[in-house]
Amino acid sequence: MKKIYFIRANKTKFGGAEVYLSRLSNALDARNVGHEIINSSISKILPSWIRAILFNIQVCFSKGNKFYFSLERVSCPDIYRAGDGVHKVFLRKINKSKVNLLHPTYLFLEKRCFKHAKRIIANSQMVRNQIINNFNIDPNKVSVIYNGIEFPKTSYHDSFKHINSEFFIKKDSPVFLYVGSGFERKGVKEFIEILSKIENKNFTAFIVGKDKKISEYINLVIDYGLDSKVIFTGPRDDVQHFYEISDVFILPTHYEPFSNVVLEAMYQKNIVFTTVQNGASEVLKERFIMSSPGDVSIAETINEILEDKDLMQKLKIENFHKAKEFSIDRNLRETYSLINETIN
């Protein structure tokens, strides 16, 4: 097989696509598959829209006969994995500044990316449909390969001890969890509103992630009288421990192609709720899918589950077994197959 060049501008530990690429790279290393990750060398002093254009020039100018597997909107991919979803749809759902030139730049690159790619990977049926319908792309060109996750080895006892050493937790009280950065899009406001509807106030809730306007969300927690219940942790390297001690994971996102955090929370035996605007909702039963980020009616379901310990345990085990179907190995096998088809 030819050497594979993965294209992704950013290099960070916390972005969903970057974490996915890191996992995929580790899996390829274990199988001695030649590959290289190309990150942007453009100075971050420049505006983001200029960096996007220059990165496109950087990778396309040096492509030659290299095989590009891109996780970035560039105009010269062989395979494009649309892990960031469809920006055209994203802009319709999220209120963004009309004067920010990054958005027309992304739209310009996105159109050419979908057009020039030999094959496109969507990580949910939702994204596949959005690509086909918004860009008139041949459906045969777009394949769905669901995300894969690594399965951490943790124990409740060790995780509880780890988290409790920093944050006091009542051992028998329910624990709610949100994980994600970019609070407006991913629904932290709505997460807090749902918490305000929980009848059993003897709970602890963790909000793991970062946001520039975090003070607004802290004030919202205070307004709801939940300041003794809700803990903002900031971004963490030990998020698996938070999953392990949590009972209910909620991600009321406004737009998400497919959140790995949904699978991660399921694997570590959380009852998981997310919106139909999240491609990861495709792995959940209808009862756990919110019609919109503001669908606070799920609080009724949560209240029922918290009152029935046997049901809670049953649902946790069901989620654990469902998440085990979505391994990084499965994703790799399906991705390999598509790469081989495209190269040959």
User: What is the pLDDT confidence band of residue 14, given thresholds at 50, 70 and 90?
Assistant: low
State the chain's mean pLDDT as an integer. 92
Beta-bridged to residue 121, according to DSSP, are 81, 143
Average pLDDT over residues 22-30: 78
pTM: 0.90
Q: Is the pLDDT of residue 98 over 70?
A: no
pLDDT at site 121: 97
pLDDT digits (tens, 9 = 90+) for 200-239: 889 999 999 999 999 999 999 999 999 999 999 999 989 9
pLDDT digits (tens, 9 = 90+) for 263-308: 999 999 999 999 999 999 999 999 999 999 999 999 999 999 999 9
pLDDT at site 169: 86
DSSP 154-212: --HHHHHHHHHTTS---TTS-EEEEE-S-HHHHTHHHHHHHHTT-S----EEEEES--T
CA-to-CA dists, residue 192 to 55, 143, 160, angstroms:
38, 36, 23
145 neighbors 338 (Cβ within 8 angstroms): yes
Task: In whole angstroms, give the CA distance from residue 314 to residue 278.
Answer: 24
Closest of 88, 109, 83 to residue 24, by C-alpha? 83
The beta strands (E) that lie in 203-324 are given as 204-208, 230-234, 248-251, 271-275, 289-290
CA-to-CA dists, residue 244 to 159, 162, 248, angstroms:
6, 11, 11
Which helix (H) or strand (E) is 313 found in, with range? helix 309-323
User: What is the pLDDT confidence band of residue 12, given thresholds at 50, 70 and 90?
Assistant: low
pLDDT digits (tens, 9 = 90+) for 147-191: 988 888 888 889 999 999 999 888 789 999 999 999 999 999 999
HSE of 163, CA atoms in CB hemisphere, 13 A: 27
CA-to-CA dists, residue 42 to 21, 50, 202, angstroms:
20, 9, 50
Task: In whole angstroms, give the CA distance from residue 80 to residue 145.
Answer: 12
Q: Which domains does the chain possess?
A: 4-148+327-343 (3.40.50.2000), 156-323 (3.40.50.2000)
Task: In whole angstroms, give the CA distance from residue 209 to residue 26.
Answer: 24
